Chains A and B, each alone.
Chain A
Amino acid sequence: MADTVFEIRNLVKNFGSNEVLKGISATVKKGEVISVIGASGSGKSTFLRCLNLLEQPTSGSIEFEGNDILGKGFNVEAYRAKVGMVFQSFNLFNNMNVLKNCVLGQMKVLKRSKKEAEEVAMKYLSVVGMSAYVNARPAQLSGGQKQRVAIARALSMNPEVLLFDEPTSALDPEMVGEVLSVMRDLSKTGLTMITVTHEMQFAREVSSRVLFMDGGVIAEDALPEVIFTSPKEARTREFLTRVLEKRA
């Protein structure tokens, strides 16, 4: 059990009378690289946002390394520092340059010294190939560059898990590649990753497991080769045919 990161049981999320997640159960083990695929509106992003409590689940339970994250008195801030998140819309701090973006959380949340925080930030900015742009402000960067900085910002917190919420959906096609290649490299480092994505090729080649969501539930949970070559569920097959045909 020691290597279980997330234990999710019967997770439900309602927005008013609209039931978006209808009972999700899943286990995530350390080092797994999971892709979550499915049609728009199937609840993928909501599921991911529940995992770091940007959305408060309506019912069900989520355990992180054996601790109930929905319990009373649970330290949400300390938890979020361990579970990083990369957003579709980057969400870099517009009032700071690239370096400060990566330093702020380390200093304020992890209480690292400025010197240490800057060293860590530079390390991860190099990993994503953005160390030359420390002085630039987010508004001066392209979408792909912003997303790479956002990944460096999340990595600078030395998280145990990194959540990606459609990290390439807001990017021009030519910039998708640079972000995916960073993520591909990350997936080989042993970092636990959960990625909501529409990039089927990425899901197929990079992930160790694929969750297919449909109508607020996990319809199929299997290895990528199974999902993409011989899915058990008819709706998985339908979804993939629809998506892959559009690409072709």
Chain B
Amino acid sequence: MQFFNEIIGIISKYWQMLLKGLGYTMLIALVGTLVGLVIGLLTGVLRTIPKSKNTFLRILQKIMNFIIAVYVEIFRGTPMMVQAMVIFWGYALLAGGNTLPVIGAGLFIVSINTGAYMAEIVRGGIMSIDKGQFEGAHAIGMNHFQTMFYVVLPQAIRNILPSVANEFIINIKDTSVLNVIGVAELYYNAYMIQTMNYKIFQTYVIVSVMYFAMTFTVSRLLRLLEKAMNGKNSYVVLGSQSDPAAEIRVKEAE
């Protein structure tokens, strides 16, 4: 019983700090995932541009693909915690001691880190789309960007949604590493609380429940989004041979 009383005690005393931490964690994870996805989509479109016939453009394309590859490998290949330190203190060194605002730095770091993973996820998503979809679009005169934007990416995004959900959930948990640069997210605040009350176990039990609440909610919400993107499984046939005004509802067998 004492345990529960302690839990309730911590919550009633520090609820504002805990909620604030949760808010920042959610904000950074959400923005990081969305910006990361945009980076991923952008690199996906750029990397699939067909080889140009023009020599100059072809060289430019090669350089661009090289830069994207370097970006992906470096940000996938080093820990986000280390990236946070390098970027935060690297900036401070260059700016003569001025530091970045910590929340801004946190948003930036999670975004570009996620972008590197998303680049690969989107690439996989684009590869999963049948070649015929590209050809169908090209055959009516659509260019690469139109084909990507209207035909390929909408389908690719639907296919990669489970992986995007993965990234989102990983981000909710991994923003905790930003405590090294002093971002007041949930883990950082929990650490602060724990140094004040010395109730380490109780504090982290509360925090783990809060993390789980966030990840579980996100996971369910994205499942709903997936369902919505599948579209309706019924359609209306307008008119029939005998009665042009008829509307026939057809439902797909599942």
A residues near B, CB below 8 A? 52, 54, 72, 77-81, 84-85, 87, 89-95, 97, 104-105, 108-110, 131-137, 139-140, 150, 153-154, 157
Q: Is B104 an interface residue (CB 8 A)?
A: no
Are B155 and A109 in touch, CB under 8 angstroms?
no
Contact of A81 (CB < 8 Å), options: B136, B140, B150, B237: B140
Contact of B235 (CB < 8 Å), options: A84, A131, A136, A150: A136
Enumerate the 4 nearest inter-chain pairs by beta-carbon distance, A residue then B residue, closest first. Answer: A91-B136, A81-B141, A105-B140, A91-B132
B residues near A, CB below 8 A? 53, 130, 132-133, 135-143, 146, 150-151, 154-155, 158, 231, 233, 235-240, 250, 252
Cα separation A91 to B129 with both chains bound (whole Å): 11
Q: A80-B138, A93-B151 are in contact. Are A132 and B132 (CB under 8 A)?
A: no
Q: Which residues of A contact B141 (CB under 8 A)?
A: 77-81, 105, 109-110, 157
**Is chain B's binding surface mostly helix, strand, loop or mixed?**
mixed
Are A52 and B139 in touch, CB under 8 angstroms?
yes
Are A108 and B231 in touch, CB under 8 angstroms?
no
Q: Which residues of B contact A92 (CB under 8 A)?
A: 136
Cα separation A110 to B139 with both chains bound (whole Å): 13
Interface centre among B136, B239, B240 (most CB of A within 10 A): B136
Contact of B238 (CB < 8 Å), options: A80, A134, A150: A134
Are B138 and A105 in touch, CB under 8 angstroms?
no
Are A84 and B136 in touch, CB under 8 angstroms?
no
Are A135 and B133 in touch, CB under 8 angstroms?
no
Are B250 and A136 in touch, CB under 8 angstroms?
yes
Are B155 and A95 in touch, CB under 8 angstroms?
yes
Q: Which residues of A contact B135 (CB under 8 A)?
A: 54, 85, 87, 91
Give the residue name and chain of the A residue nearest to B150 (CB). Answer: A104
